[in-house]
Structure 1
């Protein structure tokens, strides 16, 4: 079991995007040939911190040209670099999807798609900028690995893991500051899910910012006499089938929570697994076939029924089934 944040650490809030630039600089200091290619958002994505750390020659700003950004990163990867791209998720995956598919994935290039500002955490920027389909898009690409870290420490670990993993990797990061879940020095593995809380009555599988909501829901369920097991499936692809199956075999039912559309993301991955190997009642907490909406992050969590209260209700429903 991975080491979780202490109560003191859990009071600290940081955005997962804040890990991007500092981690790239740490990797460069360690001798990893990382480069960052950005689409005129180096401040927002924090890739500018790579240049600020003395590696200005490793940061390439392509301007507002996300498709070109992917192709530049592909070219840099062919010269021995570990190329990370940065943009908002809606642009870095949606606008550049063809280049990611046909240039990066088709040739299995060592490019890491690592956009920030994914999901509803974009907040007031509204539905045009709140990317809720990115995991679905990236998960469907042959050879693409998909990582959705829960907090700042997990984002640092995911970025380091991406750098050490040959070939295409997608790392999803957000804008909003969120509480710490993990210890500062946590290390994560590709294809591993982590049981953060053991339980016997229901399995809650989550990723990203929904991990904190899942843990809060599990705590609230104690008063209902329900023992919930909470699993962080930060590695959405490849999914840790063994951990999920073992938990559902024990509890008999599962709720999947993600800050993403209920179509094509983690919920779909878990449902596909259970349909093949262990059919069981499932409920899904996510955005239901609609675009986002302008508002503050915490307001939107409640509005879209992505908060702990929504997970508790989903648990009651799935247990009744």
Structure 2
């Protein structure tokens, strides 16, 4: 490895399995000191235990790296605050935050319980906001003390958050919210030396293997496992390093060997009369504009 993140201190949430585990190992391989956060819960967010986070720490240390485990709930103020404190108290600094924690409770909207909505939005969206909030307070204090950081935040959205996904209204809404949070954070925190970006990854993990087993299967005889989580981590490591200087407020789709810069809402066809329309006139104008607009990408799972 190149030592791209040598001496950087990196926090990765949801790092006990899947994408988070791959990110933690990749950062450690590039010389970072890693705080591995994971509650050890099941796919639906129930249960829990310290095992998965400690297992990743053991892998990192066995390879000669430096890491500690953190088992707090990052969707609580106490858990998020203690996570940032663990990095600063152990290593004396914090350079990169990778927000990755999440789980699924998929239902069609007519069957989606309020508890399932709240639980998924809580862990994905609030679980991004609170670590970001506490890390930002630390970095702002550093900047005001004359120690402006070269800090990086990598948030985890999804194609579901960009295009929608049938049967995942709660998850898609939370992941779309993460994109909005990323854009605001990038605009607000740049003055303190903080860059904030998001990825929308596709990989084979516990969260995706059941729903997309056929699409994510490794073809027999394939030399390259395109859906391995490890394929996503190189971009995350680069975004979390000094090498990404100047890149902020961006969203990247990444899958296998493909990286795409996603371009969000931009003004399309427009008409302005300078006066109020009747409903019929508004509808006629809307139809004319739609005729000249790009068609939307299909929602995942739509027929």
- TM-score, length of structure 1 as denominator length: 0.40
Structure showing greater radius of gyration is: 2
Higher share in strand: 1
